[in-house]
Amino acid sequence: MTIDKRSLDRQAADWLREAIIDGRFTSGMKLTEVGLAGEVGLSRSTVRTALQRLCADGLVIQRPYSGWEVAPLSREDANELYTLRHCLEGMAAKLAAQNIDEPGRKALRGALEELKGVSLSEDRRAIAEADLRVHKTICMVAKNKRLATHLELLNQSILIYVMSTNRAMADSTKLINEHQDLVDAIINGDVERSELLAKEHVVNAEAYIIDNLAKAQQKMAS
């Protein structure tokens, strides 16, 4: 691992975040400051600060007398995340439709074309990130910095669920159609339809995530 000496704790936090998203550090896995410090060649105090950053983001937890571990995936947590996302994405789409301009239309079309380009590939990380970029672009067009900050933080946890349940490898035609309809509504300035489609998209995503988590739990129990 190459660390930027100007910001060791932030670089370490970014590395840990990537390891969690990529599945190298799995849900519920215990993390030790000593082990991580040895792996990345940093001090325990730097690693501790990085873990605290991720704890604040909800990606790791610190248990009393037990130490650090990757935050476990659960239907309850997924429901909380997607309930919040339902509100924020609906608001973002509504504001985007209200504030749409030609640069915004161009940005949305570009993000959608990127998603279409990777949707048939086997690279689930690329699909998931292209999907989120469409939503980030919607948020950019909405022109609300605080909303963008909250969604960016939320999307870190969302991405872990997407990667863990293969949401990115779901029906690509449905995935594209949902995003196409949403982008079209925003580009056309249809405020009510934009908000409705954004919320429906989140509901569909949550249903897929919850169903696959339930199947995984049943498989582990059998």
- The answer to whether the CB of 80 falls within 8 A of the CB of 210 is no
What is the residue range of 140's domain? 75-221
**Which runs of consecutive H residues, i.e. helices, occur in 57-166?**
75-99, 102-118, 124-142, 145-164
- Are 79 and 65 members of one domain? no
Q: What angle do CA 116, 129, 2 make, to 5 degrees?
A: 135
In this structure, the answer to whether residues 212 and 114 fall within a common structural domain is yes
Instruction: Say if residues 142 and 186 touch (Cβ distance below 8 Å).
Output: no
State both tokens at 179.
Answer: 């995003």
CATH of the domain at 37: 1.10.10.10
Residues 212 and 136 in one domain: yes
* Residue bearing tokens 């950019």: 140
Does residue 3 belong to any structural domain of this protein?
A: no
3-state SS, residue 68: strand
pLDDT in tens, 180-220: 999 999 999 999 999 999 999 999 999 989 988 887 777 76
Residue 127 falls inside a structural domain: yes
What is the token pair recorded at 130?
């292209």
* pTM of the shown model: 0.84
pLDDT per position as a tens digit, 92-120: 999 999 999 999 999 999 999 999 999 88
Statement to judge: residues 159 and 86 lie in one domain: yes
Pair 62, 80 in one domain: no
> Of 39, 70, 101, which residue is a domain's last?
70
Asked if 186 and 158 sit in the same domain, the reply is yes
